[in-house]
Amino acid sequence: MKLTFLGTGTPEPYLRRASSGYLIEHGADRILFDCGGGVFDRLLQAGHLPQNITHLVFSHLHSDHMMDYARLVHAAWDARGVPLKVFGPAPMARITEQLFGRDGVFGDDLRARTQTEPSQQIWLARGGTLPRRWPTPEVVEIAPGDTIAEPGWKLTAVEVPHAQPALICLGLRLEAGDKVFAYSGDAALCDGMKQLAADADLLLHWCYRMDGEALHPALDPMAPTPGQIAAMANAVGVKRLRLTHIRPHMDQPGHHQAMLAAARQVFDGDLAIAEDLDQITL
């Protein structure tokens, strides 16, 4: 199993870090966790093509986790890609219909591409056949507690506190072969996340706040610090920990060292702050 970090940032505009996106390669599968703004370009930079993505899994539907969804689906369709399965919390199906349905955001674009003579001729010249079908991602809405079994791997979702009640927010655990990858989404510390992360070969956890940094009394309990995340990871036997969802000010001189120092006080395993295009093989 190989993980490539495609987006380790936040909604804040930042060239160094795209919004959330993480690619897992396992066997012939290309499983993309979240697809925030900038992830599409990072995918290309990492040497991958959108039409080769086999699965897309959303932790939740905050914009910074799904802004490039439409671009990925449209580009994969235009390149006659492999069938794309999309797993995400409700209203994943409604959003997909609102984008790619007959009356959706891209309805007129798709009518133009599939029905006008010049576009049809270009499509034929590119090796396509007529009639040209519309994009048809297979959407499966997942709910807290669900387990998805695909050939060669299993995905478990639990609800994590983040942006309820507006959004269903999930933490995710991928088991493939004898390896476990756990992804927090944007989780507050909770028992569900501990269960997901138990004995994980890698825990990828969001980190929106440094130790000693106060954002707002309502937000601080929802945004665990490196020290808090690392203590949880250590308690449940995580082997490797990567911190992600990093804000621009957290990259200022000295801050990484402080974040890692706070985490190392309570975590014995391999530890780092994720960077776009970094890779880890499990």
Angle at 44 between CA 58 and CA 108, to 5 degrees: 70
Q: How far apart are CA 250 and CA 101, in angstroms?
A: 40
For every residue of 53-114, DSSP letters joined together read --EEE-S---GGGTTTHHHHHHHHHHTT----EEEESTTHHHHHHHHHSTTSTTHHHHHHHH
Q: Residue 26: in which H helix or E strand, if any?
A: strand 21-26
Single out the segment in contact with Zn ion by CB under 5 A; choices: 6-14, 40-48, 178-186, 254-262: 178-186
Strand partners for 202: 181
Using the minimum distance from each CB to Zn ion, give the nearer residue, 130 or 166. Answer: 166
Q: How far is the CB of 227 from Zn ion (least distance, A)?
A: 21
Number of residues near Zn ion (by CB under 5 A): 2
| DSSP letter (8 states) at residue 248 | G
Q: How far apart are CA 31 and CA 46, in angstroms?
A: 14
Taking CA atoms, 228 is separated from 72, 159, 188, 198, 212, in Å, by 35, 19, 10, 16, 11
Using CB under 5 A as the binding rule, whether residue 186 contacts Zn ion is answered as yes
Q: How far apart are CA 232 and CA 194, in angstroms?
A: 7
Single out the segment in contact with Zn ion by CB under 5 A; choices: 33-41, 46-54, 180-188, 261-269: 180-188
Using the minimum distance from each CB to Zn ion, give the nearer residue, 62 or 247. Answer: 62
Using the minimum distance from each CB to Zn ion, give the nearer residue, 105 or 166. Answer: 166
Residue ranges in 130-159 that form contacts with Zn ion under rule CB under 5 A: none
Q: Are 167 and 89 in contact (CB under 8 A)?
A: yes
* Inter-helix orientation angle 117-125/107-115, to 10°: 70
Using the minimum distance from each CB to Zn ion, give the nearer residue, 68 or 186. Answer: 186
Using CB under 5 A as the binding rule, whether residue 201 contacts Zn ion is answered as no
Q: How far is the CB of 163 from Zn ion (least distance, A)?
A: 6
Using the minimum distance from each CB to Zn ion, give the nearer residue, 58 or 123. Answer: 58
Using CB under 5 A as the binding rule, whether residue 245 contacts Zn ion is answered as no
Residue ranges in 59-98 that form contacts with Zn ion under rule CB under 5 A: 62
Using CB under 5 A as the binding rule, whether residue 34 contacts Zn ion is answered as no
Q: How far is the CB of 171 from Zn ion (least distance, A)?
A: 12
Using the minimum distance from each CB to Zn ion, give the nearer residue, 246 or 282. Answer: 246
Q: How far is the CB of 274 from Zn ion (least distance, A)?
A: 16
- Interface residues with Zn ion (CB under 5 A)? 62, 186
